[in-house]
Structure formats: C-alpha cells, structure tokens
Amino acid sequence: MRAGSAIKAWLAICGLSIAIFAGRARATEEHLSIGGLSVVVWSEPGPAGRRPILIFSHGAHGCATQSRFLMEAFAHDGYMVFAPNHRDATCVEDATRAVAPPEPSIRQPELWNADSYRSRADDIRNLIAALRADPKWRGRIDWRRLGLVGHSLGGYTALELAGAWPEQKMPGIRAVLGLSPYVQPFVIQHTMGGVSAPVMFEGGTEDVGITPTVSRAGGGYDFAPPPKYFVEFADVGHMGWTDVGMQNSSQIVAYSLAFLDHYIKGSRPSPILTHKSDGVAELWFQSELGKEPPAGR
C-alpha cells in the first residue's frame, strides 16, 4: 500500500470513529408498529427533505436492536434506518413471534429454495409498501437511494431480495451490505449471479462457521457479479456485528459506511474501499475502482 493512500485510509477511519461517538449521543430510536410489523427506526434531526433509507434484517433468533452501534452510526451519517422484528426474533415483548414454522436447517443448505424463510423477505416487502403508503414517511424517504443490510440469516434475506433467488428479486435496491451472510444455498444452487446490486461481504477471522463459505474458492464472493467487495476483520467472530460482540467496531462502521455512501449516496469513493487498514486481515474487490483478487488466485 502506498504511504499516502494508507494515511488517507487511516484518517477516514479516525473521522468515522468520531462520528460514531457523536451519533450515539444524538440518534433517535423509535419502536413503532408499521404495516403490522414491530419495527425499530433510527434517525437524526436535520434539514427537511428526503433521506436515503436502509433496511436491516437481523440474524436468526436475533432482533431489530441487536446491532445498535451500527444502526446509530448509519443514522448519524444521514440514513433513515428501519429494522423489522422477524417472526423468529427473541427479544421482543410478543414471545409468540419466536415460534416459527419448521424450516430447513442451515446444516442442510441443499434443501433450501426460494420459499425458505420466505416470511423474512415478505416482512421487508410489507414494510416498504407500508412506508410508501404512509404520509408520515412519504416526504422523508428518498426511494431512489435504498439499501439492504443483513446479518447472518438477515444477510441471506438481503441477498435473496437483490436477486440471489430470482423469484424473490425486488426492484430498486442500490446496494447490499452482508454482515457474515449465510450464502450456502445460493452457492449450491448457482444463483448468486442473479444479484443485481453492488455487494460488500463482511467476515471475520474468528467467524469459522460462515466466513469461509463466502471467501473460499467457489464460495459466495467468487459467484457474485461485480461490483463486489470482501472485507475480513481480524479477531472478529460471528457476533462481532452485534452489540454483544463489537470487536473492531470502528473498522466495521468505517468500511460499511464507505461502501454504502459510495453506492447509495453517490459519494466519492473513500480510500479505504481499496486499502486495508489496521484490523483488516483481507480486502478483495472487483469494481469500477479496480481489482484486488484473493491471494493465490
């Protein structure tokens, strides 16, 4: 890495770290019922007008508030953030939502198809429809700048809506941020190529259950069409994107926002999109910014 680029990348992370601290103090968190769904909304006061929107899908048996540090950082950066509690959520008042119909095990990805965990994709569709129809939100959301963010099974949900299951593809998605996303069904069925939005896959060196399925030869990253990015954070396990883990949180926020801002807001690309910072074990990309293939390939 060139010294100048490294310094720019480090300054970008330092600046975002300050933004995270400030965002935690000011982001508003609302617990609402929208379209029959229990939804948590993060936003910050600011000038009137439409803002870009992010929809977050939580992990299996997680919940909408599992990753507050990220949602608050997104809100501080100017996004409206909506996170529905899916029916498998376990930290909501209505405990009956935790009881879900039988679904195939993650250990049997060959049994999955476009109907697997379909209720999660339906939740996001229903949430979007309700927001579009409600005058309360109509003037606050810029639907031309919509991004999906998902952790684990939520990453699977975000990817399927972006086209990894062609039957579930939803139009208008500008970018997908997959936080240790479950991708095996798409790899086995050879459908990852249907994704039609830029994707950043994030993984961790301690995330031994999921990250290798994304990063290995013939894994999720290889089959995804460009523009695509893979960032592997050092010492981060599967829960590192939640408030329970929060390893390398400043780097996770920095790379996530650099990707989202470039592809959703149309901002100039941050230097860190193409350069590894301290705390990043691997960074690959294939996009209009260039190409950095996995080592040895």
Please report, for the domain that includes residue 277, its CATH number: 3.40.50.1820
pLDDT at res. 26: 64
Q: What is the pLDDT of residue 268?
A: 97
- Position 87 scores a pLDDT of 92
Burial class, 152, CB count within 10 angstroms (exposed 0-12 / middle 13-18 / buried 19+): buried
Question: Considering the domain boundaries, does residue 103 fall inside one?
Answer: no
Q: Per-residue pLDDT averaged across 271-279, rounded?
A: 94
Domain-located, residue 216: yes
Q: Residues 211, 15, 82, 119: what is their CA dihedral angle, to the nearest 10 degrees? A: -10
pLDDT, mean of residues 188-204:
98
Domain assignment present for 169: yes
- Residue 4 tokens read as 């100048």
Q: What is the pLDDT of residue 245?
A: 75
- Is residue 101 in some structural domain? no
For residues 188-192, average pLDDT: 97
| More reliable by pLDDT, 25 or 254 | 254
CB 172 within 8 A of CB 142: no
Q: What is the Cα–Cα distance from 35 to 46, expressed in whole angstroms?
A: 26
Has residue 274 been placed in a domain? yes
pLDDT value of residue 273? 97
Is residue 72 assigned to a domain? yes
Residue 129 within any structural domain of the chain: yes
> How many domains, in total, are found in the chain?
1
What's the angle, vertex CA 171, arms to CA 168 and CA 175, rounded to 5? 100
pLDDT average, residue stretch 259-276: 97
Q: What is the mean pLDDT of the chain?
A: 89
Does this model's pTM top 0.85?
A: yes
Contact 146, 260 (CB under 8 A): no
- Domain holding 26, by residue range, is 3-96+111-291
Query: Would residue 125 count as lying in a domain?
Result: yes
Q: Which residue has the higher pLDDT, 198 or 94?
A: 198
State the average pLDDT over residues 121-150.
Answer: 96
